[in-house]
A and B are shown apart, each in its own frame.
Chain A
Amino acid sequence: TQLLEQSPQFLSIQEGENLTVYCNSSSVFSSLQWYRQEPGEGPVLLVTVVTGGEVKKLKRLTFQFGDARKDSSLHITAAQPGDTGLYLCAGLSSGTYKYIFGTGTRLKVLA
């Protein structure tokens, strides 16, 4: 069974703090995406990483794809209450061509 394990599962931090969310698998992925989902809404695609070692920045968010394309991380600098939500990684498995969602990280940023 292919899994994308995210850690931590829950995170509650103060406004202005930095944080990192991890997404790990034992399988290789041809690409990985990160989504943010707010309560009652659908996930919104934030970024796609395709190349091993790739780093992408989106304002205060930095995304990295592992060299072996088995893991990814999301780093948020100076978190704001508007960053609150469920963060999901997802990817297309290189072997099975199945699209798999991670277990999710629920972030709460307190003002």
Chain B
Amino acid sequence: DSGVTQTPKHLITATGQRVTLRCSPRSGDLSVYWYQQSLDQGLQFLIQYYNGEERAKGNILERFSAQQFPDLHSELNLSSLELGDSALYFCASSVAASSNYGYTFGSGTRLTVV
């Protein structure tokens, strides 16, 4: 157990729908990062929050949004889902806003859009 908790583990939904992925960072970590990993692809950075504020944005679609709450958990909202959104979505956390020592990853949410 890495200490980063992601729910749900698996999600199957239809095109056009909206889903919410949840992440609780490791205790004491203030930064949360969201990544997308499609089949046999690398990790694509989506967005980072630090202590409740958006810190950095990557290749996040306008249909996707995220937020970090006062208790530091984060949610990634995916709307108007398309088949191509099927992927593993990972959350990672770190203590600082920019970590020189890497991230701790959760075990991911596997999203399947049918």
Contact = CB atoms under 8 A, between A and B. Distances in A.
Physical interaction between A and B: yes
Interface of A: 30-31, 33, 35, 40-45, 48, 50, 88, 90, 92, 97-99, 101-104
B2 A44 contact: yes
Contact of A42 (B2, B42, B45): B2
Contact of B100 (A30, A45, A101): A30
* Chain B binding surface SS class: loop
A10 to B, nearest CB: 11
A101 B101 contact: no
Contacts of B99: 92, 99
B48 to A, nearest CB: 9
A45 B98 contact: no
Nearest to B108: A42
B90 interface: yes
* Chain A binding surface SS class: strand
A99 B2 contact: no
Contacts of A42: 2, 4, 90, 92, 105-108
A88 B45 CA distance: 14
Contacts of B83: none
B105 A43 contact: yes
B107 A50 contact: no
Of listed B56, B92, B100, residue having the most chain A CB within 10 A: B100
Of listed A33, A88, A99, A103, residue having the most chain B CB within 10 A: A99
